[in-house]
Structure 1
Amino acid sequence: MALTQIRRLATISLALAVLATIGCSRGPEVFPINGKVTLDGAPIQDGTIMFLSSEGANEMAKGKIIEGAYSLDCTPGNKTVQIGGYTSENKIVPWQYLSQDSSLSANVTQEAELDFELTSKQKRRR
């Protein structure tokens, strides 16, 4: 083989190895999460659910709530959960569940079903 053919073969081999490596990167691990969301016992008919990283990472998983059910893929870790939407009785999910200070949380460690039962009445402090 001539020197130019060996170089050409080496260049092609290197390019294929780089492409194979790029094609194999999958990004962060994610788990399928699903569940049901209710407000005062009634399913959220139309809404949005977000899982935000509680650990300072800029990660968010967002899904649509339809007839009380949602499904999304989420990275593992402690999450603050924000939920917005309304029920068939036109009850709107209170702001406390959609704000950045939402009291809802979840620890995502594997594929899971996570249900959220919301109330429109705030609990009184004694």
Structure 2
Amino acid sequence: MLTNLKSRSRLGAAIALGLCLAVMLGGCGGQPKAQVAGTVTLDGKPLQDGVISFYPEAGVGPSAGTGIKDGKYTMETPVAKMKVVINATEVIGKRKKYDTPDSPVTEDVRELLPAEYNTKSKLTATLQPGPNTVDFDLKSAAKK
């Protein structure tokens, strides 16, 4: 009986280890990756600060995002056809968080880019395994 329990215990441990390995290899780690780099300009000038995010267009799978600094970004993301969202904010003022003398001050910000690049983005990129260059030339005025 004791030998039977030890065998079951070892079998259970082996199955658990196998499942863990299958999840690790079959999950994100086993999928091909795209190394994405590019330039984001606004009215022909590098976007100073912002965030770029890639979401699978099919709505299934991992997304990825990174910061934009001096118009440049670089990151690793899953291979897929992606919806791209770009945000950049500017400070328009400061205000107290609470109506007390010792209240912390927060910055009021607003989105610098038109909605067609973020909340209503139609930007896309098809990412292949390996290096990908994806540049975006944005305009501050909405397309007519």
Matched, 1:71 2:66: no
Task: Please report the RMSD computed on the Cα atoms of aligned residues, expressed in angstroms.
Answer: 2.7
> Paired residue for 1:32, among 35, 50, 59?
35
Q: 1:20-62, CA deviations, whole angstroms, 9 ceiling, x for partnerless residues?
A: 4413523132322222211112111211111122213264222
Unaligned runs of 5+ in 1: none
Residue pair 1:97, 1:103 contacting (<8 A) in 2 also: yes
Letter in 2 for 1:81: V
> Paired residue for 1:18, among 11, 16, 19?
16
Secondary structure of 1:19's partner?
A: helix
Residue pair 2:116, 2:142 contacting (<8 A) in 1 also: no
Matched, 1:4 2:2: yes
State the number of aligned residues: 118
Unaligned runs of 5+ in 2: 91-110
Residue pair 1:82, 1:104 contacting (<8 A) in 2 also: yes
Matched, 1:84 2:84: no
Q: TM-score, normalised by structure 1?
A: 0.73
Q: TM-score, normalised by structure 2?
A: 0.65
What percentage of aligned pairs have identical amino acids? 27
Residue pair 1:45, 1:86 contacting (<8 A) in 2 also: no
Match of 1:41 in 2: 44
Secondary structure of 1:96's partner?
A: helix
Match of 1:114 in 2: 134
> Paired residue for 1:93, among 110, 113, 122?
113
Match of 2:63 in 1: 60
Residue pair 2:114, 2:142 contacting (<8 A) in 1 also: no
